[in-house]
């Protein structure tokens, strides 16, 4: 794999993230090759080391996970892998780390946010990773700049669905890349630093390439903002005139815990946190991170945790926030006077059944899309980013290749300068001013992880379509994507004509 690195230059390789049909297993390599007196010298950084979700579909018996394959990168001293930069704490960006450690690999120092470190420490505990095996962790924040070898990396806050989400501006002599990480433009926020547009505007002339999170590119307009989710929740609850409100939320999305809590507070309803062990462990992390629900409440509402209390304690009017699919006895004697707000697409299907059987009305994200928190920019977010920066080369990632192929015409119409080759995992691109060229390619693989006696071992498998068992088949099929993009293009073309005729 070092062949293409025989020449000076700055290189980018998606190891996972430009997948066939899944959004999962993110991991990217940046390698800078410079000439020194002694010959060529390399500096490599890795951005994220996630897990691939649909490992069962890869056909290895007793598999526990699958991870991107960075083994040769770690084993090639010439490449000089100096650091792993972590954009945020979600499993598809972070959870590969523990499996590599459990398989006996040494990893370079990790750079990430405080919350990311908290989640990682939780993973170390649950996988029994002893302290001596844990790589150094350096906490970073918005505005920090880290120099390593011939690269400089600047940290830029990103609006996403968890604390401490970052993008990185990676500076080399040949090119300056803005690696967005998972992000949207939304600067309404209840709990985090929003995407640092001020800094991006300032540094815009230097940015030559954007490695962009195209996860939400199948939707028009701007990504739904946190404030819109909050307002919609308040509006639905108010209009319902019900006293008992059920708001199930995804455990890994702290922003929804908070938005639901703030909606309850606004309407002066007591809050009952109620869910699985996973839910409570994230609730603890949110509190450990420094967020105090009691402080926010200032005695205006009462807050309960778990099922220790009886419905009578909760008072007349309350909101249940949790990841439950079983609402237990939270109704009191009667299910009347209750409403459910379902904030995720399919996760809470069993709960819908419970609501139905008890004649409780509920609103879903199909009725009110704002109810689902969004972490990824839509088309409008990237149009905005493109105009904020100076039309850099856009390198899409964090989506299947067919989405990139499908949106090309539309993006061209919108003036986005997309890389001409659709990047696939394990292709290496050479980045220089106004250029992004394919320099090398190799078959892409996942490493399937199996555990025996507490240790992990890897089996290498070719990457293949796995959507038969994944969620993408239902939500983002290639055909549906193509149709959506042609419809958007038609609407935009019509809009332009109208404007011209005015
Ligand atoms: Zn994420």
Looking at residue 467, what is its pLDDT? Answer: 66
| Interval 466-502: pLDDT, tens | 865 444 544 567 888 889 999 999 999 998 777 777 6
Q: What is the DSSP track for 144-188?
A: -EEEETTEEEEEEE-B-SSSS-EEEEEE-SS-EEEE--S-B----
Examine the domain organization and report whether 446 and 384 are in the same domain: yes
What is the arithmetic mean of pLDDT over 184-194?
A: 89
Q: Tell me the residue range of the domain where 355 lies.
A: 226-371
Distance 452 CA to ligand 1 centre (A): 30
Q: State how far the Cα of 440 lies from the Cα of 430, in Å rounded to an integer.
A: 9
Distance 335 CA to ligand 1 centre (A): 36
Distance 87 CA to ligand 1 centre (A): 9
Examine the domain organization and report whether 453 and 473 are in the same domain: yes
Q: Answer with the residue of higher pLDDT: 278 or 42.
A: 42
81 burial level (CB within 10 Å; 0-12, 13-18, 19+): buried
| Interval 219-250: pLDDT, tens | 999 999 999 999 999 999 999 999 999 999 98
Distance 267 CA to ligand 1 centre (A): 30
What CATH number is associated with residue 256?
3.40.50.10710
Distance 161 CA to ligand 1 centre (A): 7
Looking at residue 436, what is its pLDDT? Answer: 96
Distance 71 CA to ligand 1 centre (A): 24
Q: Residues 6 or more apart from 478 whose CB is under 8 A from it? A: 21, 402, 406
| Interval 354-373: pLDDT, tens | 889 888 999 999 999 999 88
| Contact indicator for 271, 365 with CB cutoff of 8 Å | no
Examine the domain organization and report whether 17 and 80 are in the same domain: yes
Q: Residues 6 or more apart from 430 whose CB is under 8 A from it? A: 4, 9, 10, 11, 436, 437, 438, 439
Examine the domain organization and report whether 315 and 399 are in the same domain: no
| Contact indicator for 418, 412 with CB cutoff of 8 Å | yes
3 burial level (CB within 10 Å; 0-12, 13-18, 19+): exposed
Q: State how far the Cα of 254 lies from the Cα of 191, in Å rounded to an integer.
A: 9
| Contact indicator for 241, 392 with CB cutoff of 8 Å | no
| Contact indicator for 73, 447 with CB cutoff of 8 Å | no
Distance 358 CA to ligand 1 centre (A): 35
Residue 291 placed within a domain: yes
Pairing mode of beta strands 244-248, 270-273: unpaired
Q: How far apart are the first and last CA of the chain?
A: 56
| Contact indicator for 240, 284 with CB cutoff of 8 Å | no
Distance 44 CA to ligand 1 centre (A): 23
Write down the H helix ranges in 348-464: 349-357, 379-388, 401-413
What CATH number is associated with residue 216?
3.60.15.10
Looking at residue 374, what is its pLDDT? Answer: 87
Distance 185 CA to ligand 1 centre (A): 14
Average pLDDT along the chain: 92
The phi-psi region of residue 89 (left if phi > 0; otherwise alpha if psi is between -120 and 50; otherwise beta) is alpha
Distance 95 CA to ligand 1 centre (A): 12
Pairing mode of beta strands 151-157, 166-171: antiparallel
What are the percentages of helix, strand and coil residues in the chain, rounded to 5? Answer: 35, 25, 40
Give how many domains the chain has, as a whole number: 2
Looking at residue 345, what is its pLDDT? Answer: 83
Rounded to 5°, angle at Cα 412 from 409 and 416: 135
Percent of the chain topping pLDDT 90: 77
Examine the domain organization and report whether 382 and 285 are in the same domain: no
Distance 91 CA to ligand 1 centre (A): 8
Residue 499 placed within a domain: no
Distance 88 CA to ligand 1 centre (A): 7
Q: State how far the Cα of 170 lies from the Cα of 189, in Å rounded to an integer.
A: 26
Examine the domain organization and report whether 255 and 295 are in the same domain: yes
Examine the domain organization and report whether 194 and 324 are in the same domain: no
Examine the domain organization and report whether 233 and 217 are in the same domain: no
Distance from the Cα of residue 40 to its chain's centroid: 36
Distance 94 CA to ligand 1 centre (A): 10
Distance from the Cα of residue 482 to its chain's centroid: 24
Distance 93 CA to ligand 1 centre (A): 7
Looking at residue 502, what is its pLDDT? Answer: 67
- Select from 313, 346, 371 the last residue of a domain: 371
Examine the domain organization and report whether 380 and 450 are in the same domain: yes
Residue pointed to by tokens 């402080």: 295
Distance 183 CA to ligand 1 centre (A): 8
Give all strands (DSSP E) within 241-328, no chain letters: 244-248, 270-273, 303-305, 318-322
Residue 497 placed within a domain: no
Distance 78 CA to ligand 1 centre (A): 32
Q: pTM for the complete prediction?
A: 0.93
SS3 for 138? strand
Distance 441 CA to ligand 1 centre (A): 27
Distance 428 CA to ligand 1 centre (A): 24
Looking at residue 33, what is its pLDDT? Answer: 97
Examine the domain organization and report whether 9 and 103 are in the same domain: yes
Distance 162 CA to ligand 1 centre (A): 8
Q: Residues 6 or more apart from 348 whose CB is under 8 A from it? A: 248, 325, 342
Distance 347 CA to ligand 1 centre (A): 17
SS3 for 212? strand
Q: State how far the Cα of 64 lies from the Cα of 58, in Å rounded to an integer.
A: 11
Distance 160 CA to ligand 1 centre (A): 7
Distance 165 CA to ligand 1 centre (A): 8
* For residue 414, pLDDT beyond 50: yes
Bridge partners of 46, per DSSP, are 29, 84
Name the band, by pLDDT with cuts 50, 70 and 90, for residue 311.
confident
Name the band, by pLDDT with cuts 50, 70 and 90, for residue 189.
confident
Examine the domain organization and report whether 29 and 103 are in the same domain: yes
Residue 498 placed within a domain: no
Distance 187 CA to ligand 1 centre (A): 17
Percent of the chain topping pLDDT 70: 96
Examine the domain organization and report whether 361 and 404 are in the same domain: no
Residue 347 placed within a domain: yes
- Select from 356, 371, 386 the last residue of a domain: 371
Residue 251 placed within a domain: yes
Q: State how far the Cα of 221 lies from the Cα of 217, in Å rounded to an integer.
A: 10
- Select from 352, 371, 390 the last residue of a domain: 371
Residue pointed to by tokens 């005729």: 501
Q: Residues 6 or more apart from 61 whose CB is under 8 A from it? A: 450
SS3 for 368? coil
Distance 375 CA to ligand 1 centre (A): 7
Residue 502 placed within a domain: no
Residue 352 placed within a domain: yes
């Amino acid at each position: 794999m070092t062949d293409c690195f025989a020449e000076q230059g700055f290189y980018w390789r998606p190891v996972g993230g430009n997948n066939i049909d899944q959004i999962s297993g993110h991991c990217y390599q940046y390698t800078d090759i410079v000439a020194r007196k002694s010959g060529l010298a390399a500096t490599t950084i890795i951005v994220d080391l996630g897990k691939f979700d649909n490992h069962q579909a890869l056909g290895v018996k007793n598999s526990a996970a699958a991870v991107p394959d960075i083994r040769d990168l770690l084993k090639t001293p010439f490449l000089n892998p100096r650091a792993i930069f972590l954009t945020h704490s979600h499993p598809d960006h972070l959870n590969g780390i523990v499996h590599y450690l459990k398989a006996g690999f040494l990893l370079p120092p990790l750079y990430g946010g405080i919350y990311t470190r908290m989640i990682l420490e939780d993973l170390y505990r649950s996988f029994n990773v002893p302290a001596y095996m844990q790589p150094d962790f350096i906490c970073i924040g918005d505005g920090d700049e880290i120099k390593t070898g011939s690269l400089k990396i600047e940290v830029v806050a990103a609006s996403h669905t968890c604390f401490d989400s970052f993008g990185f501006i990676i500076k080399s002599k040949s090119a300056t890349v803005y690696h967005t990480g998972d992000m949207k433009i939304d600067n309404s926020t209840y709990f985090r630093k929003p995407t640092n547009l001020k800094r991006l505007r300032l540094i815009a002339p230097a940015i030559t390439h954007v490695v962009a999170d195209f996860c939400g590119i199948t939707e028009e307009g701007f990504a739904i903002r946190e404030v819109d989710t909050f307002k919609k929740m308040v509006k639905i609850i108010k209009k319902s005139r019900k006293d008992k409100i059920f708001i199930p939320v995804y455990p890994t999305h702290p922003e929804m815990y908070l938005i639901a809590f703030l909606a309850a507070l606004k309407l002066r309803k007591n809050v009952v946190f109620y869910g699985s062990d996973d839910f409570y462990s994230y609730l603890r992390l949110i509190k450990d991170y420094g967020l105090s629900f009691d402080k926010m409440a200032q005695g205006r509402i009462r807050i309960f945790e778990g099922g220790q209390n009886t419905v009578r304690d909760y008072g007349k009017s309350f909101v249940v926030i949790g990841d439950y699919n079983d609402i237990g006895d939270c109704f009191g004697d009667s299910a009347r006077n209750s409403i459910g707000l379902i904030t995720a697409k399919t996760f809470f299907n069993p709960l819908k059944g419970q609501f139905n059987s008890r004649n409780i009305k509920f609103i879903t994200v199909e009725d009110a899309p704002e109810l689902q928190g969004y972490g990824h920019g839509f088309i409008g977010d990237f149009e905005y980013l493109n105009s904020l920066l100076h039309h850099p080369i856009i390198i899409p990632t964090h989506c299947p290749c067919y989405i990139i192929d499908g949106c090309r015409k539309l993006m061209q119409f919108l003036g986005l300068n997309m890389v001409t080759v659709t990047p696939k995992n394990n292709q290496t691109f050479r980045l220089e001013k106004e250029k992004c060229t394919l320099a090398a390619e190799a078959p892409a693989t996942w490493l399937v992880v199996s555990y025996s006696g507490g240790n992990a071992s890897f089996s290498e498998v070719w990457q293949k379509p796995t959507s038969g068992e994944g969620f993408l088949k239902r939500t983002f099929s290639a055909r549906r994507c193509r149709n959506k993009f042609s419809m958007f293009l038609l609407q935009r073309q019509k809009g332009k004509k109208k404007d011209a005729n005015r």
